[in-house]
A and B are shown apart, each in its own frame.
Chain A
């Protein structure tokens, strides 16, 4: 380990040698995100206006968020951090913070206050789930279904347990190839009360119970691992219903006009946001902090919703959400947080999954492979 470390450090030093004596703020910034429509919404809402204000700043985009945790760990071990700002989901932010790979932030100092003077800490509220995490959007994992495949004379599915009702709604399902979310839904449909789900899931019996419930539909499930899978399977008519991120379903329904309907029941909320890697040189850190201060203010978060149907993470941004930039439709009703959609929601328990992820995943994968 030491050998490679030294090796990488040499490279880093040679590179650093050229930048010694640079001014206070670096002119280049590497931002890591997820690619696709989501990254485009960030470019439109944050990066373009920022570069208009600072024309000499160059922003490089890297689409590595899916492997951000592993790559940040590798960069840290090599002593050469090449990223300045990384978009991750909250669970990954907690993991990065635990590993000491992400920098702790002080919300009131590093983030802009709301226009009415509410402090950033209060404005973000409960969504500050980790000391290192700067929340950006609220998204949800929920189900979409083919409206043209609903059998005649039957109402469209509108509750989570309809996923298990193969008699009324025949057809394949698509579920994510990991225990998170699936185990919760299975227990909910097995009669566990919403506030007891994680208590039950912490026990081996509860885990068996959830897998047994999933076993009822196992033969009719296609397991997905990329966010684009379910929209594609829905568009091909391969499945009747499947889980995915609500923004992907919005794009299938509104932008592509596919015969797909949303089922918001028991949608599971999760958060996306920024982390700043630990160990940045001062000039780069100053630039990133400047950008983050701008990109997470009330107006910017509301602006992002013009391009994608994810809810802004600030309370003060919600009233400012307007219309879709191209389609001209009101975006507010498409937000996972809209009152009509959020009648029955479920909040992902980060602490629980940080503890039980490895354990339950081993059981889940063994069960899948049987």
Chain B
């Protein structure tokens, strides 16, 4: 109790370094009329040399608190900021399906048609590499929060995407075993001019696989761990890929070059293999077939590079095949791809930052024409926020009602009795939270102590025992009990400082007991009520475990939903949005309290 130090204004009688500055300013004002600035012994203006001395002092003070400051920043502020940032972050869509998102930009969302074939084609190449890296299911999970069914749509399509346009792949491979020979491929692709393409695909893959560039900080970290004998993997942006693509090939076979670059980057960065030893993916052959169909024989004849004859033969083979459209292939894998629903979801959540989580947190959703209310049977969060605020207020109120008399007794009884009473207040405070909550369960349940007593006394019929738990009442009772010490202790320490002689003086001047209390004693104890109320209210607004255990369905708080989204549904974005709103509400209330009551009037101790 006496440990609780004052948070109110400091008593300003002790001299501070700033006082010297003010004094100098005062001196200069006086001297300003008579002559130049006041000089120190070495001739520099006194103001400057003082400021320098002060700066040094401040730096030293900062240095002293630096360990704590850095610790708080790194271990507390940074993780919270990182977590809250997830409420708007949404890069996963454009990282996983970059080409699709770009192609979708031209699609008219209001039209009644599904996107054109180019979008499906882009989706194929995006999906292929995402499936290889096992990232498509992660995106499916993300989009499933917005549209039920996306999860299995992505998981299922990931299994089938290997087999798309199998006829093309087989036709080319049947021509010659060369096409399955990694060395033949590297030789055909090799040359100058494709560096930009390869680096572009490397960046795309690093975004997809969530590989961060190491940067300066990472290099430093590597150097440090190197000092202790630790090994450091090369940074993904520095690893040599050891394959090249010629500009002729890029001009002649653009899709193939891109698919091959994807394949090469993946092989090196993800699998740690060598490109010249790995057989290219099906997607590379599918791309080759598409490219060859688009070429005229003259184009190929004009090509001077490697494997020209093989390409001509391959073109002849694939020209025999009538390719299935990617739209048809995806629709065959899952009929939902043939509807607008998944496309609308992808298009709506394509931007890197989204307001979707925040809208969801206030029972709204993104519609075609901007934000709209969710269907009534899914609205829950506003109600929970209101309930949380209302119940926190009720709990704070009941803490004041119960705590005030106890604190008064503590402050006014003789020392011996007061100490005993203080132990009675502190004992539950030191008991485990779970034990106290479970004890309330035993007390309040229908076969519990209170109901049994009431039935035994004949006040309540055995068949109609009172329902006092698993509802709001249970939560309020249990939480009031748990938070009561946070009200009593600040009240007590404020009341201790109110001299008893004031009350006696009021009475001797003719005040009744009530007037003396209400006009003289109570106003002096208000700072204690303020401090206790802020403590209890802010603690209860974020309470989690007690409502979870005794709250049933009508007594749970918003924090129970936040916990659910963090640990069960894994919708961290929504949890972060709910948490941000809760934080904002607390800050606004604190600000309002400061405006109305004034935070200077809050006292935690004498």
- Measured in the bound complex, the distance between the Cα atoms of B230 and A236 in whole Å is 58
Contact (Cβ within 8 A) A13 B135: no
Shortest Cβ distance from residue B38 to the other chain A in the assembled complex, whole angstroms:
48
Bound state CA distance, A177 and B549, in angstroms?
12
Residue of B nearest to A357 (CB): B569
B234 within 8 A of A: no
B218 sits at the interface (CB 8 A): yes
Q: What is the bound-complex CA distance between A368 and B379, given in angstroms?
A: 11
A-B contact pairs, 13 of them (CB 8 A): A3-B78, A10-B224, A17-B229, A73-B570, A98-B151, A99-B138, A99-B141, A223-B553, A236-B447, A354-B155, A356-B149, A357-B569, A358-B148
Does B90 reach chain A (CB closer than 8 Å)?
A: no
| Closest chain A residue to B229, Cβ basis | A17
Whether the Cβ atoms of B229 and A354 lie closer than 8 Å is no
- CB-based A-B contact count at 8 angstroms: 116
Given A1-B85, A222-B470, A236-B447, verify A6-B383 contact (CB < 8 Å). Answer: no
In contact, A354 and B377 (Cβ under 8 angstroms)? no
Contacts A70-B567, A98-B141, A366-B377 known; A351 to B225 CB distance under 8 Å? no
Task: Say yes or no: B149 contacts A365, CB within 8 Å.
Answer: no
Q: Does A24 contact B (CB under 8 A)?
A: no
Closest chain-A Cβ to B535's Cβ sits at a distance in Å of: 28
A 329-359 contacts with B by CB, 8 A:
351, 354-359
Q: How far, in angstroms, from A363 to B377 measured CA to CA in the complex?
A: 6
Whether A225 pairs with B140 at a CB distance below 8 angstroms is no
Q: Are B144 and A358 in contact (CB under 8 A)?
A: yes
Q: Is A97 a contact of B378 with CB atoms below 8 Å?
A: no
| Chain B 108-136 residues near chain A, CB threshold 8 A | 134-135
Beyond A99-B138, A354-B151, 16 additional contacts (C-beta under 8 Å) are: A1-B82, A4-B78, A10-B225, A14-B230, A20-B229, A69-B567, A70-B567, A70-B568, A70-B570, A99-B141, A223-B552, A223-B553, A236-B445, A238-B445, A355-B149, A369-B556
Q: How many residues of A contact B (CB 8 A)?
A: 49
- A225–B548 contact, CB under 8 A? yes
Judge whether A6 and B221 touch: CB under 8 Å. Answer: yes
B380 near A369 (CB under 8 angstroms)? yes
Size band of the interface chain B makes with A: 35 or more
Q: Output the least CB separation between A30 and chain B (Å).
A: 19
B366 adjacent to chain A (CB < 8 Å): no
Chain A residues closer than 8 Å to B570, beta-carbon distance:
69-70, 73, 95, 99
Q: Taking the complex as formed, is B212 at the interface, i.e. its CB lies under 8 A from any CB of chain A? A: yes
Asked if B152 and A354 make an inter-chain contact with CB atoms under 8 angstroms apart, the answer reads yes
Closest residue of B by beta carbon distance from A71: B567
Chain B residues 323 to 382 lying within 8 A of chain A, measured CB to CB, are 377-380
Q: How far is the CA of A177 from the CA of B553 in the complex (A)?
A: 9
The residues of A that contact B135 with a CB separation of less than 8 Å are 100
A361 touches B569 (CB 8 A): yes
**A1, B85: Cα distance in complex, Å:** 9
Name the one of A67, A351, A365, A367 contacting B152, with C-beta atoms under 8 angstroms.
Answer: A351
Instruction: Report if A9 contacts B (CB, 8 A).
Output: yes
Inter-chain contact B230/A17, CB cutoff 8 Å = yes
Contact A98 B140 (CB under 8 A): yes
Bound together, the chains give a CA A12 to CA B380 distance in angstroms of 41
Q: Does B384 contact A (CB under 8 A)?
A: yes
Given the interface pairs A20-B230, A354-B152, the reply to whether A369 lies near B383 with Cβ below 8 Å is yes
Contact B138 A98 (CB under 8 A): yes
Q: Does B571 contact A (CB under 8 A)?
A: yes
Complex interface bits, A297-316 against B, C-beta within 8 A gives 1, otherwise 0? 00000000000000000000
Is the beta-carbon distance between B228 and A14 smaller than 8 angstroms?
yes
Assess whether B379 is in contact with A366, with CB atoms less than 8 Å apart.
yes
Closest Cβ of chain B to A182, distance in Å, is: 13
Q: How far in angstroms is the closest Cβ of chain B from A64?
A: 10
Collect the chain B residues with CB atoms within 8 Å of residue A361's CB.
569
Q: How many Å lie between the Cα of A136 and that of B137 in the bound state?
A: 25
Chain B, residue nearest A177 (CB): B553
Known interface pairs A354-B152, A366-B377, A369-B383. Does A14 touch B225 (Cβ–Cβ under 8 Å)? yes
The CB with the most chain A CB atoms within 10 A, among B151, B225, B571, is that of B151
**How far is B548's CA from A236's CA once the two chains are assembled, in angstroms?**
20
Is the CB of B554 closer than 8 A to any CB of chain A? yes
**Is A54 interfacial (CB 8 A cutoff)?**
no
* B contact set with A: CB distance below 8 Å: 74, 78-79, 82, 85, 89, 134-135, 137-138, 140-141, 144-145, 148-152, 155, 212, 217-218, 221, 224-225, 228-232, 377-380, 383-384, 445-447, 470, 548, 552-554, 556, 561, 566-571
Chain A residue nearest to B227 (CB atoms) is: A17
Given A98-B155, A99-B137: A17 and B447 within 8 A (CB)?
no
Q: Measured between alpha carbons, how far is A236 from B140 in the docked complex, in Å?
A: 44
In the bound complex, residues from chain B placing their C-beta under 8 Å from that of A354 are 144, 151-152, 155
4 shortest A-B CB distances, which residue pairs?
A17-B230, A98-B137, A359-B148, A366-B380
Taking a contact as CB atoms under 8 Å apart, the answer to whether B569 and A358 are in contact is yes
Please state if A13 and B380 are interface contacts (CB–CB under 8 Å): no
Which residues of A have CB within 8 Å of B137? 97-100
Is A237 on the interface with B (CB-CB < 8 A)? yes
Q: What is the minimal beta-carbon distance from B194 to any residue of chain A, in angstroms?
A: 29
Question: In the bound complex, do residue B221 and residue A9 qualify as a contact, i.e. CB atoms below 8 Å apart?
Answer: yes
Instruction: State the Cβ distance, A81 to closest chain B Cβ, in Å.
Output: 15
Q: Determine how close the nearest CB of chain B comes to the CB of A132; give it in whole angstroms.
A: 10
- A2's partner among B212, B232, B446 (CB-CB below 8 A) is B212
CB-CB nearest in chain B for A351: B152
> Which residues of chain B are within 8 angstroms of A97 by Cβ–Cβ distance?
137
Using CB atoms, name the residue of chain A closest to B548: A225
User: Contacting A6 at CB < 8 Å: which of B152, B218, B230, B571?
Assistant: B218
Within 8 A of B (CB), among A1-38: 1-7, 9-10, 13-14, 16-17, 20
Kindly list chain B residues whose C-beta atoms are within 8 Å of the C-beta of A172: 446
What residues of A have a CB within 8 angstroms of the CB of B212 in the complex? Answer: 2, 5
Nearest chain A CB to B383 CB, angstrom units: 6
Q: Which residues of A contact B568 (CB under 8 A)?
A: 69-70
A286: interface (CB < 8 Å): no
Assess whether B221 is in contact with A355, with CB atoms less than 8 Å apart: no
Given known A-B contacts A6-B217, A9-B221, A95-B141, A362 and B378 have beta carbons under 8 A apart: yes
In the complex, chain A residues whose CB is within 8 Å of the CB of B150? 355
Interface centre among B141, B548, B561, B570, by most A CB within 10 Å? B570
Q: Are A4 and B383 in contact (CB under 8 A)?
A: no
Q: Given the complex of chains A and B, what is the CA–CA distance between A97 and B159 in angstroms?
A: 14
CA distance A254 to B567 in the complex (A): 33
Taken together as a complex, chains A and B put the C-alpha atoms of A367 and B151 apart, in Å, by 24
How far does the alpha carbon of A9 sit from the alpha carbon of B383 in the complex, in Å? Answer: 41
In the complex, the answer to whether A70 meets B229 with C-beta atoms within 8 Å is no
CB distance A367 to B230 under 8 Å?
no
- Residue of B74, B78, B148 ringed by the most chain A CB atoms within 10 A: B148
Least CB separation from A226: chain B residue = B549
> In the complex, what residues of A have CB within 8 A of residue B144's CB?
354-355, 358
Interface pair B470/A17, CB less than 8 Å apart: no
Complex Cα distance, B70 from A174, in Å, reads 49
Chain A residues contacting B134 (CB-CB under 8 Å) are 100
Instruction: Decide yes or no: A4 and B151 within 8 Å by CB, A363-B377, A369-B553 being known contacts.
Output: no
Q: Is the CB of B151 within 8 A of A17?
A: no
Contact B228 A358 (CB under 8 A): no
Q: Contact partner of B566 among A2, A4, A70, A355, CB < 8 A?
A: A70
Is A4 a contact partner of B79 (Cβ separation < 8 A)?
A: yes
B contact residues around A208 at 8 Å (CB): 377
Contacts of B224 in A (CB 8 A): 10
CB distance from A11 to the nearest CB of B (A): 11
> Are A367 and B221 interface neighbours, CB within 8 A?
no
B553 near A355: Cβ-Cβ < 8 Å: no
A236: B residues at CB distance < 8 A: 445, 447
Residue contact A355 to B85, C-beta cutoff 8 Å: no
Name A17's contact: one of B85, B145, B225, B554 (CB within 8 Å): B225
- The closest CB in chain B to the CB of A362 belongs to B378
Residue of A nearest to B566 (CB): A70
A70-B567, A355-B148, A355-B152 in contact; A7/B74 too (CB < 8 A)? yes
Q: How far is the CA of A359 from the CA of B89 in the complex (A)?
A: 21
